[in-house]
């Protein structure tokens, strides 16, 4: 789009100004057309004289706005009123949004406002409490209380008693052995008029109300996601158990939950991953949703196996960040085999971002312990696809460097050298053809050929000392 200040430069300033919205030029009313032309020329002249810092769709919010209105924002969210909630969510969206090139230093750490994060989480929890299928299946309940009584308290009196309170079945007394099966048999007669007896409840939301609740939940999740990008909020949110439980539950139910809500929750966890300790789910902090460490890892594995590219890429990046913390290793190591298999599958995809996420996660996993390196080397196609990333090559040189470092980590284990000897020629080819990774592959070949008996021992399946 051409800037406003550049308008009128072409043609030596003699060209007609850009028409504004309203009555078009060439109208039947010549006086109106002349007036419109004059107004357009004046507007163009005013735009040309305007300072450059007023151009563009920039929106500036005063830095003291949140400080002056933080209590009102929290109360508006907690009120649940549609107008107040809409105002608060729109305000927080503007305050928390920040362009990538925006170098603002007056960004308010909104997570530090007392009660704000809990109020936003309550908006998401309210939506999840009603986020059921539109046509729920009502299963029959076994009712044994008062089975021998005429009026059981479960509503059977509407079928047994007439409209005037008289017995429809005079032979049935209070001491009769009437069972609920007999009463249920008679309930099938003319039940359509008793719509008020339906168990669905009196205050259920209609479709419009459900849609509004869903939109509010998505808006709240987007604000929480924006919070996670602010450095001042990271530690607070990573130690907030209710926040972590809510976002993990959203990605756990990614099959039936709103896609945008799931994406916001996943991006929030990825941003908080360097400060995240999974042991928080078994800590003494108050819990709102019973999420365990195992359920949290299983939720991540579900996203890793998803067919949505943005989801499995983010899940791979999340696993790579979580494994850096030694306290998270006991919860992730039981899933290492499944993680390796899925990450190797991502390496085969033509998408460069999926390959980058997989290589980044494998790079951190290979540095954990010997068992991870042994399992990765024995994973089918692992070495082939790592070499393919280097030979292709990947557009980002750092990804190729990490792939080469993974191979160097694998060759450091004596048990893996028999597998890597089969790729000795491929390693030598990269050594002489690509100077960027020649040092790494020189070290790999040195480890493979440093012992004279390595090749003979590898052929026999026994390593010589």
- Nearest CA to 70 out of 56, 55, 91, 90 is that of 91
The answer to whether the CB of 178 falls within 8 A of the CB of 148 is yes
pTM over 0.85: no
Contact indicator for 108, 202 with CB cutoff of 8 Å: no
pLDDT in tens, 337-356: 999 999 999 999 888 999 99
| Interval 21-78: pLDDT, tens | 333 333 344 444 444 444 455 444 444 444 444 333 444 556 577 677 888 999 999 9
Determine the 3-state secondary structure of 212 from DSSP.
Answer: helix
Q: Are 452 and 413 in contact (CB under 8 A)?
A: no
Which of 414, 418, 415, 411 is closest to 442 using CA atoms? 411
Q: Whole-angstrom Cα distance, residue 304 to residue 317?
A: 10
| Mean confidence (pLDDT) of the chain | 75
Residue ranges of domains in the chain: 69-96+110-130+207-291, 326-465
Helix (H, G, I), strand (E, B) or coil at 163: coil
Instruction: Spell out the SS3 assignment of 301-331.
Output: HHHHCCCCHHHHHHHHHHHHHHCCCHHHHHH
Peptide bond between residue 393 and the one before it cis (omega within 30 degrees of 0):
yes
CATH number (3.10.20.440, 3.20.20.150, 1.10.260.40, 1.25.10.10) of 326-465 reads 1.25.10.10
Segment 407-461, tens digit of pLDDT: 999 999 999 988 999 999 999 998 888 778 889 999 999 988 875 444 444 444 4
Would you say residue 219 has pLDDT above 70? Answer: yes
Mean pLDDT, residues 357-375:
93
């Amino acid at each position: 789009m051409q800037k406003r200040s550049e308008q009128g430069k072409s043609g030596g300033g003699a060209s007609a100004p850009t028409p504004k919205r309203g009555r078009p030029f060439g109208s039947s009313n010549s006086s109106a057309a002349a007036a419109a032309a004059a107004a357009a020329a004046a507007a163009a002249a005013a735009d040309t004289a305007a300072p450059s810092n007023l151009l563009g769709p920039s929106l500036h919010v005063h830095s003291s706005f949140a400080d002056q209105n933080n209590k009102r924002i929290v109360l508006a969210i907690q009120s649940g009123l549609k107008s107040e909630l809409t105002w608060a969510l729109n305000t927080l969206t503007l305050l928390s949004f920040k362009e990538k090139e925006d170098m603002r230093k007056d960004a308010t750490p909104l997570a530090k406002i007392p009660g704000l994060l809990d109020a936003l989480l309550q908006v998401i929890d309210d939506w999840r409490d009603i986020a059921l299928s539109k046509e729920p299946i009502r299963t029959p309940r076994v009712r044994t209380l008062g089975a021998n009584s005429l009026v059981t308290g479960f509503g059977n009196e509407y079928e047994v008693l007439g409209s005037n309170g008289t017995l429809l079945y005079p032979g049935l007394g209070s001491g009769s052995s009437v069972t609920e099966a007999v009463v249920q048999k008679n309930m099938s007669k003319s039940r359509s008029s008793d719509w008020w007896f339906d168990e669905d409840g009196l205050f259920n939301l209609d479709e419009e109300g459900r849609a509004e609740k869903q939109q509010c939940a998505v808006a709240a999740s987007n604000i929480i996601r924006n919070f996670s990008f602010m450095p001042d909020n990271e530690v607070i949110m990573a130690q907030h158990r209710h926040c972590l439980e809510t976002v993990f539950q959203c990605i756990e139910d990614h099959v039936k939950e709103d896609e945008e809500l799931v994406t916001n929750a996943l991006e929030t966890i990825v941003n908080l991953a360097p400060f995240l300790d999974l042991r928080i789910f078994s800590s003494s902090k108050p819990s709102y949703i019973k999420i365990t460490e195992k359920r949290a890892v299983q939720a991540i594995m579900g996203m890793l196996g998803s067919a949505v590219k943005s989801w499995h890429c983010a899940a791979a990046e999340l696993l790579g960040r979580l494994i850096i913390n030694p306290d998270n290793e006991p919860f992730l190591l039981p899933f290492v085999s499944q993680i390796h298999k899925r990450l190797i599958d991502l390496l085969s995809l033509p998408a460069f971002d999926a390959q980058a996420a997989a290589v980044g996660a494998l790079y951190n996993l290979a540095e954990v312990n010997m068992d991870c390196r042994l399992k990765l080397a024995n994973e089918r196609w692992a070495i082939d696809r790592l070499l393919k990333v280097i030979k292709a090559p990947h557009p980002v040189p750092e990804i190729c460097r990490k792939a080469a470092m993974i191979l160097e980590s694998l060759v450091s284990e004596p048990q893996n050298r028999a597998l890597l000897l089969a790729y000795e020629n491929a390693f030598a080819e990269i050594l002489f053809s690509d100077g960027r990774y020649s040092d790494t592959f020189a070290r790999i070949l040195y480890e493979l050929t440093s012992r004279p008996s390595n090749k003979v021992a590898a052929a026999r399946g026994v390593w010589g000392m």
